[in-house]
């Protein structure tokens, strides 16, 4: 299992692009400088009035398939 730690700050208005269909993924840079691409819909459980803010950990299997996304 691989883990990627990153911070993300996306306003509610910016995240609305997902609902309009103009955005499908979020690209973030982890704490080691690696760019990671995550399906935007994976962030829905973390969306509130201010948007999506905080530190997250993405866990993947050895083939980089999604396992989990958690706020830390």
The domains of the chain, with CATH numbers, are 2-71 (2.40.50)
Q: Where are the alpha helices (DSSP H) in the chain?
A: 12-20
| CA distance linking residue 12 with residue 53, whole number of Å | 10
Q: Across the chain, which distance is largest between two alpha carbons, in Å?
A: 35
Residue 30 confidence (pLDDT):
96
In this predicted structure, what is the pLDDT of residue 31? Answer: 95
pTM: 0.89
User: pLDDT tens, position by position, for the chain (72 residues)?
Assistant: 999 999 999 999 999 888 888 889 999 999 999 999 999 999 999 999 999 999 999 999 999 999 999 999
User: What pLDDT, on a 0 to 100 scale, did the predictor assign at position 23?
Assistant: 85
């Amino acid at each position: 299992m691989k883990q990627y730690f990153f911070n993300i700050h996306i306003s509610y208005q910016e995240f609305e692009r997902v609902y309009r269909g103009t955005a499908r993924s979020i690209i973030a840079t982890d704490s080691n400088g690696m760019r990671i691409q995550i399906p935007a819909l994976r962030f829905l459980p973390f969306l509130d009035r201010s948007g999506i803010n905080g530190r997250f950990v993405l866990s993947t299997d050895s083939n980089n398939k999604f396992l989990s996304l958690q706020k830390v």
